Structure 1
């Protein structure tokens, strides 16, 4: 599989939370803190689509519930 890069050298296939630049980039992209991103990557792995899904699910569960 060919590696795809976002301008600036960021890998689109894997999130490297050990690289401070990538950590900050992905945290900003997903609108989470670097610590939150590390936690999600630890639980679901470093694939951006899996991380995005987990973050979206978490944020959806935190949003106020509509009155029925």
Structure 2
């Protein structure tokens, strides 16, 4: 399903969507990791930003 850019807010900011190029670029820069590291973290702990940050030690 495509990302609905008209629906933004806390729920959108709390999730890491590695299937959207612009989000992948944002999160890799924000967390200082490679795209592969980010994808692996999301696969390991799910898409919530808090879980991904914790998994990456950020």
TM-score range for the pair, normalised by the shorter chain length: 0.7 to 0.9
Structure 2 unmatched ranges of 5 or more = 1-7
Q: Number of residues paired by the alignment?
A: 51
Normalized per residue, which structure has more strand?
1
State the alpha-carbon separation in 2 of the partners of residues 36 and 25 from structure 1: 14
Bigger Rg, structure 1 or 2: 1
Secondary structure of 1:23 counterpart: helix
Which of 3, 9, 17 aligns to 1:4? It is 9
Which structure has the higher relative contact order (CA within 8 Å, separation 6+)?
A: 2
Deviating beyond 4 angstroms after TM superposition, the runs of 4 or more aligned structure 1 residues are none
Residue 24 (structure 1) shift: 0.9
Q: How does the TM-score come out when normalised to structure 2?
A: 0.77
What is the CA RMSD across the aligned residues, in angstroms?
Answer: 2.0
Q: How does the TM-score come out when normalised to structure 1?
A: 0.67
Structure 1 unmatched ranges of 5 or more = 6-10, 58-68
